[in-house]
Amino acid sequence: MPQLSCHSPFGALTISEDEGQIVALDWGWGRDQEETPLLLKARDLLERYFDGESVDFETLPYRPYGTPYRQKVWDALRRIPYGQTRTYADIAAEVGGSARSVGGAVGANPIPILIPCHRVVGRSGLGGYSGLGGVA
């Protein structure tokens, strides 16, 4: 599986591709680096995003691996506009299930940033976010 790493304000990130689609974005520096056209485009968009530019990640093809329910939750996350947030309960009302089940799907998001799990907050504000450095 081709991988390419980049620098971010949070440390190194590694983008993984499978069959022409982004399938993962992981914390840390990947072992095997390969510059495919898709990974170069993804890295460029991420670097521009971290530099404060407005970018459209929807131009990237992605296929996160997960259950049909998780896929529904991740699709809902992709529809949250830049600069806005939703609660776990909001997403649950949209896709079905409970806020807790949505939280499980959000926590299992294999492509953070591109699938904006950081735009989902608890009823009383941010809580349970697990990025670099652990759970907030």
Q: Is 134 exposed, middle or buried (0-12, 13-18, 19+ CB in 10 A)?
A: exposed
Helix (H, G, I), strand (E, B) or coil at 67: coil
Give the span between the Cα atoms of 106 and 127, in whole angstroms: 12
Query: What amino acid positions are annotated as catalytic residues?
Result: 117
The per-residue DSSP string of 5-65 comes to EEEETTEEEEEEEETTEEEEEEES--SS----HHHHHHHHHHHHHHTT----GGGS-B---
